[in-house]
A and B are shown apart, each in its own frame.
Chain A
């Protein structure tokens, strides 16, 4: 099908689709199935995904910024990569199997984060799952009809698409060190361990209904097929929400391997680890389920927290309201009229307002919010700034429709979770 291939943009779009088909074929997903994804998830996401493949910027150019700081140079020889997708330093900050989205590369971009810019938080090497032998196994004391589903059987169930964010529980961890001077263990993310995508899959409730969920079932636990077998217990109540999905497509493409192919959980508003990737088993239980992932990890440990039951501290479940500026850190701008942009998100609902301060919090102004403002996704915001030469710190504070606001400070916890205090983004105007 020709779309005027002498036009460079058409040519690139055509090639992008070819690359998409090639990538899908490697996963064992047919061209027909790929077209079905595109229909299910809507043309917009499909085109966004295509556009992202060729780097088409649909909005204004970004203001001139300093080149990215080079990624940390490893001292040992390069080893086999943990991830499958390309993660160039132009798009990511490199932490091995973890890759942080560069916020400056989202300046003025569309609502969702393209798959090739989406952050990755993986515990090790991306597993490659054989689609032919893969099964989703649902069992446990909480179901009357244990079952197994093939990939095709899952895809035949009624589908649902939602736009939601997924965020690592430790997003913002580096600020514990930079602000509180207490270094928490784990990846020293700034604020780029978050992404919004259009997720397509099957409501978990559809599957649990077919497994004849027992009245009073308490918890379920998806288990990943990765080397560590990540397994995070989740309440059945959360599992039955309309937007809790078994996801098989992301922004109109088959779920990429680094993001959980063939199937991952989507548990909106909950910390990233609950969105288990490469799901193979679902245990449903009449009793509470415990694993290291809700007793020793993803719990708040520190002098301000006490053990709770079997857990070493309060279990981290729901995320916290946050915001970020679409700017490299530290920022550098030319003097003159600028438009400062960013995004704000909350697990509790839509964002009601975003305020900013250019004088270290003495005075605050309201930023303009974008039209798309989806609960458990984010809102884009912006404000004009006639930037004069000098050094500044831009502070941004988001408030959601439930009245939750970003605090001025948060208490330290050893594993570095839930840092959501207002941060001061340094900017030099020259």
Chain B
């Protein structure tokens, strides 16, 4: 039991740390607070590659730091689109805001081949 608790604590700390790396700024930190997350796309990955957010309104600021166009799609774990930025030109930053309940999601670029090339990462909302 103790071992499980330690692992759970470690995972919580990891997600919190990743959230900071991702540029997550979360108001008071209470449930439902708005948060903002910075993400960079290149060929063919997201940076950071693990992201967590607090349940509530989440704003993704996505910068295309690559040479090809990308898009940014919040999906459920079955791959169904929830909301998307349909295209982000190289060098541009676009934002996407949506309300997310606690749970597991995916972030993806669904342009041809990009997801299979590595542009698919998990999003943990707590």
Where the two chains meet, the residues of A that have a C-beta atom closer than 8 Å to any C-beta of B are 72, 74-76, 78-82, 95-98, 122-125, 183-188, 227-228, 230, 273, 292-293, 296-298, 414
Contact = CB atoms under 8 A, between A and B. Distances in A.
Contact of A97 (B65, B69, B91, B116): B69
Contacts of B91: 74-76, 78-79
Contacts of A123: 68, 111-114
B67 interface: yes
B43 interface: yes
24 contacts: A72-B89, A72-B92, A74-B89, A75-B91, A76-B92, A79-B65, A95-B90, A96-B89, A97-B67, A97-B69, A97-B90, A123-B112, A123-B114, A124-B44, A125-B67, A183-B86, A185-B110, A186-B71, A186-B111, A227-B43, A228-B114, A292-B115, A297-B113, A414-B81
Contact of A74 (B84, B86, B90, B113): B90
Interface string B74-87: 00000001001011
Interface residues of B, number: 27
A125 B68 CA distance: 8
A281 to B, nearest CB: 16
A82 B67 contact: yes
Interface string B55-73: 0000000010111110101
B33 to A, nearest CB: 28
Contact of B63 (A76, A124, A227, A414): A76
A188 B67 contact: no
Nearest to A226: B113
B63 A96 contact: no
Given A74-B90, A96-B90, A124-B43, A82 B68 contact: yes
B18 to A, nearest CB: 24
Contacts of A230: 112-113
Interface of chain A: mostly helix, strand, loop or mixed: loop
B107 to A, nearest CB: 14
A125 B87 contact: no
B25 interface: no
Closest 9 CB pairs of A and B: A74-B91, A297-B112, A82-B67, A96-B90, A76-B91, A97-B68, A228-B113, A185-B86, A124-B43
B87 A186 contact: yes
Given A76-B65, A125-B43, A186-B69, 14 more contacts: A72-B92, A74-B92, A75-B93, A80-B67, A82-B90, A96-B66, A96-B68, A123-B113, A185-B86, A186-B86, A292-B116, A293-B112, A297-B112, A298-B112
Contacts of B66: 79, 96, 124
A76 B89 CA distance: 11
Interface string B33-51: 0000000000110000000
B27 interface: no
Interface string B101-126: 00000000011111111000000000
Nearest to B63: A76
